[in-house]
Amino acid sequence: MAPQDHGEDIEALLHELRRFAPPTDFSAHANVDASIYLEADRDPEAFWATQARQLSWETPFTTTLSWEPPQATWFGDGRLNASVNCLDRHLEAGLGSRVAYHWVGEPEGDRQSITYAQLHAMVCQAANALTALGVVAGDRVAIYMPMVPEAVVAMLACARIGAPHSVVFGGFSADALADRILDAGAEVVITADGGYRRGVASGLKVQVDEALERCPGVRSVLVVRRTGQAITMAEGRDHFWHELVETQPATHVPQAFGAEHPLYVMYTSGTTAKPKGILHTTAGYLTHVATTHRLVFDLKAETDVVWTAADIGWVTGHSYIVYGPLCNGATSVLYEGVPDAGGKDRWWRIVEEYGVTILYTAPTTIRTLMKWGEEYPMAHDRSSLRLLGSVGEPINPEAWMWYRRVVGENRCPIVDTWWQTETGGIMITPLPGVTTTKPGAAMRAFPGISVDVVDHEGRSVPNGEGGFLVVTKPWPGMTRGIWGDPERFVDTYWREFEGRYFAGDGAKRDDEGDLWLLGRVDDVMNVSGHRLSTAEVEHALVAHPAVAEAAVVGASDPTTGQAIVAFVTIRLDHENSDGLVEELRAHVGQVIGPIAKPRSILITPELPKTRSGKIMRRLLRDVAEHRTLGDTTTLVDPAVVQMIDDMMRASSDDE
């Protein structure tokens, strides 16, 4: 049955059951109880130090935090190796035969279960291969891969030799890849010939080849054979993984690095066209992701099968597919494809077959699954599931309720987790077995994390009012900076409210003090859980020869959360041909990647501007969302926006 058929039921349910007390049988066995908040509040630094001691250190730390805003040093004098924490120590503890990943390729039957011992051997080989290519500690390595085991191996091999990795989402274009390689100064790229997506073998190596025309600094490329498609290999520069890596010795003596040694750089969109390289370092980050993975997901590593259904090209994959689960010795599912590859029940077949216990995904996916109908999950055994998580965007109560009722059979607690690329790990979340949850609310800061909701002046707002979300104390997983741009780091996060981290999100505390996230307050859009800036898409549009000016807004969308809507004016010397809109969409896909293609593009004779020449995006958003236009008095010519509004309505009537 389609979800809309349940519209009224859900409303009724929401009225009746606004709160979900933790199930008692869950609480009885949960990893934590409410006292953890008190303990962490009393001394947050001591709380984090206790957590950090669960890592394996070559040299234990003696100092916990030094804080010179905005620069934090956590566990500064300790030394450790990230890959040892993910692998070697589990082997030493006798867990080598535990499965680290059940890998499921998109084509049916393409699968592999990899134990910790096997993963360790693969990582040692890859570390040896990177060393053979001359990579040393501190060098950056770009990774542009499909969701295959080698992607994880590549990350851990970099970590093992102290070379920060920069994973670029496989859906980005050659141009976007080149920008990131150049910004990070990477000299080595690890990729694959391609990957499978929606049943088609996509080309990755071909994108790398194009990107590298602009990146003369790249001297070596490692290529995993995934699809067998025809590719060209540049003599001396390109090496096949099976030739260079799989012939290396499967042992490698790791070296320890300082706690603040860079672990990775992850590019994310900010409010300008240029993406920011978010830097994470070793010990604080590992402490944060391991702790949150253990407590937020109530992890029982011996028995759980965790499935974080995200791409390793985003931070959710880094923290909760790779580093968090591996630090905790957990077993994960790694799935290559889209949710409906091989049928709309693909996900549920995976859940049933592998006995997935913890499922973590984004609201946009939940809404898509909901749209397909509940017969797909219902047709499969979901009794293994015991906890559900959500991340990436605000979850609407309807999706929350569906997730709980249909996927979780009304028995699995739901954790709605708020965090960002910059925060490294989960910051605001219920604790399962402890927190009484409310559909749509992320509830409360994780133990040891302090947040506030403030007004423009930085004053705490009372319960019931909205404001800006800030983090008021340093935390271990916090980003240590923007790669190569310390000024932008200060300006973006620390200038607005002195000494506090400005997240860029709106939030509200309800009458009981519980937190609800309200979406971005800046020009960052959230499309299907992917962060994109309006400026980035505008930049791509004006790079097209036909475009004079462009304004882009994120309009709310029932499935993708937000959708990209663009308004463009065209150059006088260009004609508005029939195919132009499609051409522009394709062009944006080419410049950034398919995820950035606007849902709609409206070609207009003019854009609404203020007397000082600024484009009024606020009004364009009203237009895009079919709302009554807001205040137009500051415009040079209010008739312009009225005309655009009429055009928009006419064009959506056509649809």
Note whether 392 binds ligand WTA by CB under 6 A.
yes
The reply on whether position 391 binds ligand WTA by CB under 6 A is yes
- Kindly calculate the radius of gyration of the chain based on its CA atoms and give it in whole angstroms: 24
Nearest-angstrom CA–CA distance, 149 and 113: 10
The 10 Å Cβ neighbour count of residue 420 is 19
Work out whether 417 is an interface residue with ligand WTA (CB under 6 A): yes
609 binds ligand WTA (CB under 6 A): no
Q: How many residues bind ligand WTA (CB under 6 A)?
A: 22
Residue 532's closest CA among 566, 483, 501, 559? 566
Give every strand in the sheet of 387-391, ordered side by side.
Answer: 111-115, 99-104, 331-335, 305-308, 358-361, 387-391, 414-417
285 binds ligand WTA (CB under 6 A): no
User: Which lies closer to ligand WTA via its Cβ, residue 248 or residue 319?
Assistant: 319
Q: Choose the stretch contacting ligand WTA; rule: CB under 6 A; options: 218-226, 245-253, 418-426, 534-542.
A: 418-426
CB-nearer residue toward ligand WTA: 327 or 517: 517
Residue 529, sorted as left (phi over 0), alpha (psi -120 to 50) or beta, turns out to be left
The reply to whether 167 sits near ligand WTA by the rule CB under 6 A is no
Q: Which of 298, 336, 345, 393 binds ligand WTA (CB under 6 A)?
A: 393
Segment contacting ligand WTA (CB under 6 A): 159-167, 381-389, 431-439, 497-505? 497-505
Residue of the chain from 6, 293, 346, 531 that contacts ligand WTA (CB under 6 A): 531
Minimum CB–partner distance for residue 397 and ligand WTA (Å)? 13
Among 357, 361, 420, 604, binds ligand WTA (CB under 6 A): 420
Residue 504 CB, shortest distance to ligand WTA, in Å, is 6
Segment contacting ligand WTA (CB under 6 A): 99-107, 297-305, 313-321, 642-650?
313-321
Calculate the CA 645 to chain-centre distance.
Answer: 34
Q: Whose Cβ is closer to ligand WTA: residue 368's or residue 526's? A: 526
Name the one range near ligand WTA by CB under 6 A: 55-63, 198-206, 218-226, 392-400: 392-400
421 in contact with ligand WTA (CB under 6 A):
yes
Give the type of residue at 206.
V
Q: What is the DSSP letter of 394?
A: P
Degrees to nearest 5, angle at CA 560 with 155 and 608 = 115
Question: Checking phi first, is residue 153 left (phi over 0); if not, alpha (psi -120 to 50) or beta?
Answer: alpha
Examine residue 534 and tell whether it contacts ligand WTA (CB under 6 A). Answer: no
Which of 139, 183, 209, 505 lies at the binding interface for ligand WTA (CB under 6 A)?
505
Between 260 and 505, whose beta carbon lies closer to ligand WTA? 505
Instruction: Check residue 141 for interaction with ligand WTA (CB under 6 A).
Output: no
Whichever of 254 and 392 has its CB closer to ligand WTA, that residue is 392
Residues 245-274 that bind ligand WTA (CB under 6 A): 268
* CA gap 520, 461 in Å, rounded: 18
CB-nearer residue toward ligand WTA: 477 or 504: 504
Q: Return the number of the residue (85 or 479) whose C-beta is nearest ligand WTA.
A: 479
Count CA atoms closer than 13 A to 419's CA, side-chain side: 33
Q: Name which position in 171, 262, 317, 394 contacts ligand WTA (CB under 6 A).
A: 394
- Which tokens go with 207? 């994108």
Pick from 422, 135, 427: nearest CA to 266:
422
Whether the Cβ atoms of residue 604 and residue 567 lie closer than 8 Å to each other: yes
Q: Which is nearer to ligand WTA, 222 or 427 (CB)?
A: 427
Task: Take residue 249 and report the two structure tokens written for it.
Answer: 């010795």
Check binding of 424 to ligand WTA (CB under 6 A): no
DSSP 120-189: HHHHHHHHHHHHHTT--TT--EEEE--SSHHHHHHHHHHHHHT--EEE--TTS-HHHHHHHHHHHT--EE
Position 520 contacts ligand WTA (CB under 6 A): yes
- Contact between 416 and ligand WTA by CB under 6 A: the answer reads yes
Q: How many angstroms separate the CA atoms of 234 and 218, rounded? A: 12
In our burial notation (b when 16+ CB lie closer than 10 A, e otherwise), range 113-149 reads ebbbbbbbbbbbbbbbbbbebebeeebbbbbbbbbbb
Residue number, 227 or 429, with CB nearest to ligand WTA? 429
Between residues 394 and 447, which has the closer beta carbon with respect to ligand WTA?
A: 394
Choice between 453 and 546, CB closer to ligand WTA:
453
C-alpha to C-alpha distance for 530 and 197, rounded to whole angstroms: 17
Is residue 629 within 8 A of residue 649, CB to CB? The reply is no
Of 282, 323, 290, nearest in space to 76 by CA = 282
Q: Does 562 bind ligand WTA (CB under 6 A)?
A: no
Interface residues toward ligand WTA, by CB under 6 A? 268, 314-316, 391-394, 416-421, 442, 503-505, 517, 520, 526, 531
